């Protein structure tokens, strides 16, 4: 079957900086794929190559089987792009922005009008469509960008950090919107993000990119399975003979390891939620009294730390403060 996106050994150098250092992966049609990585990992560079705005130093990229370097125009028809820097004209209304964009694609007037009305409704901007974009909130501008990206019915929607700098509520609105846009026939989505929650919530598969290399790629569950530590169940017990309980619990096949300290058993298991009743049952059979149970599931954050050796949060903080400094509209009104 044809891949929606196929990237092979992609390299991009800027002078002495290697932004992409041999990246290979593919995305199936209809898939929602997330590229997760810290600042400077190479996400935007990869997207610029896929969207024909930049040539790779080496390697190949194909969109629906078409080479992005050789057939730029054909590739641009197939993709809708929501770039990291917002591109709507602040001096025009939402509707005007949409219309100009649709004209780029030579859509006949009737089709254009219908499509724009549908999309503005879908992103919840129908009532504000005749207001200047300068009067929109950050979240509204993002939603307009997404509507623009979808105007020509692309096969693939590519979004570079679709919720960067948005407050949590607007972020949820954008997530809902992206989920709804999947109703568009067979739409494939590629998005970059450094929000763990965004990748977890939206993406069927996730690639972690760091220093221009993909360090892990799988479904969320698959990525977690690769971690040496599984789910951890912490059970605090009273009135026990610890050695006896540990011996008993160890015989359960899904238990990987047990540490006992200060009345609490820290048990590593495959699936914490399923294991809890069985563990509690076994401990009570052995004469233990269960006082409390805590399940610590592995998160995407744990996966990220495992592969990159550091948490992503500090990167995020830097990025947002940078955006606040840079993202001031220049002009208001016409």
Ligand X SMILES: Nc1ncnc2c1ncn2[C@@H]1O[C@H](COP(=O)(O)OP(=O)(O)OP(=O)(O)O)[C@@H](O)[C@H]1O
Q: Which residues contact 82 (CB under 8 A, 6 or more apart)?
A: 142, 145, 146, 148, 149, 157, 158, 159, 160, 162
40 binds ligand X (CB under 6 A): yes
202 binds ligand X (CB under 6 A): no
Q: Give CA–CA dist 249/278, Å, rounded.
A: 9
Q: How far is the CB of 13 from Mg ion (least distance, A)?
A: 17
321 binds ligand X (CB under 6 A): no
| List 4, 27, 41, 275, residue binding ligand X (CB under 6 A) | 41
In the Cβ-directed half-sphere of 186, how many Cα atoms lie within 13 Å? Answer: 10
17 binds ligand X (CB under 6 A): yes
Q: Based on CB atoms, which residue is closest to ligand X, 40 or 124?
A: 40
Q: How far is the CB of 35 from ligand X (least distance, A)?
A: 8
39 binds ligand X (CB under 6 A): yes
188 binds ligand X (CB under 6 A): no
Pairing of strands 231-238, 255-261: unpaired
Are 63 and 44 spatial neighbours (Cβ–Cβ below 8 Å)? no
| List 34, 42, 94, 272, residue binding ligand X (CB under 6 A) | 42
37 binds ligand X (CB under 6 A): yes
Q: Which does 126 bind (CB under 5 to 8 A by kind): ligand X, Mg ion, none?
A: none
193 binds ligand X (CB under 6 A): no
Q: Based on CB atoms, which residue is closest to Mg ion, 44 or 268?
A: 44
What's the token pair of residue 226? Answer: 């690769």
Q: Nearest 5°: phi and psi at 198?
A: -65, -45
19 binds ligand X (CB under 6 A): yes
| List 44, 52, 163, 170, residue binding Mg ion (CB under 5 A) | 44
Interface residues for Mg ion in 73-132 (CB under 5 A)? 84
163 binds ligand X (CB under 6 A): no
Q: Give CA–CA dist 261/168, Å, rounded.
A: 39
Q: Does an H or E element contain 210, and which?
A: strand 205-210
CA distances, 207 to each of 19, 87, 143 (Å): 16, 27, 25
Kindly list the residues in this chain that would bind ligand X in the complex (CB under 6 A): 14, 17, 19, 37, 39-45, 84, 194, 319
């Amino acid at each position: 079957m044809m891949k929606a996106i196929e990237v092979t050994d992609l390299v991009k150098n800027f002078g002495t900086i290697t932004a992409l250092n041999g990246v290979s992966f593919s995305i199936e049609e209809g898939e929602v794929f997330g590229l997760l990585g810290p600042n400077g990992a190479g996400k935007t560079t990869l997207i610029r190559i896929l969207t024909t705005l930049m040539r790779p130093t080496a390697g190949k990229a194909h969109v629906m089987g078409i080479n992005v370097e050789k057939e730029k125009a054909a590739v641009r028809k197939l993709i809708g792009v929501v770039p990291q820097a917002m591109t709507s004209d602040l001096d025009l209304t939402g509707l005007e922005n949409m219309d100009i964009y649709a004209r780029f694609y030579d859509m006949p007037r009737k089709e254009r009008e219908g499509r724009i009305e549908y999309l503005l409704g879908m992103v919840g901007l129908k009532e504000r469509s005749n207001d200047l974009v300068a009067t929109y909130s950050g979240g509204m501008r993002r939603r307009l960008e997404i509507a623009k990206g979808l105007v020509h019915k692309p096969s693939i929607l590519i979004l570079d950090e679709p919720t960067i700098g948005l407050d949590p509520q607007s972020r949820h609105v954008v997530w809902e919107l992206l989920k709804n846009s999947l109703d568009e026939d067979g739409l494939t989505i590629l998005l970059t993000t450094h929000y763990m929650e965004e990748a977890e919530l939206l993406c069927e598969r996730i690639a972690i990119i760091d220093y221009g290399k993909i360090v892990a790629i799988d479904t969320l569950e698959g990525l977690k399975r690769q971690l040496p530590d599984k789910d951890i169940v912490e059970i605090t017990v009273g009135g026990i003979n610890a050695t006896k309980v540990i011996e008993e619990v160890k015989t359960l096949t899904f238990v990987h390891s047990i540490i006992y300290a200060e009345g609490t058993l820290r048990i590593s298991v495959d699936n914490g939620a399923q294991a809890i009743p069985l563990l509690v049952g076994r401990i009570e059979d052995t004469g233990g009294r269960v006082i409390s149970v805590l399940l610590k599931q592995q998160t995407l954050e744990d996966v990220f730390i495992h592969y990159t050796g550091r948490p992503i949060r500090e990167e995020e903080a830097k990025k947002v403060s940078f955006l606040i400094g840079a993202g001031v509209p220049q002009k208001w009104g016409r």
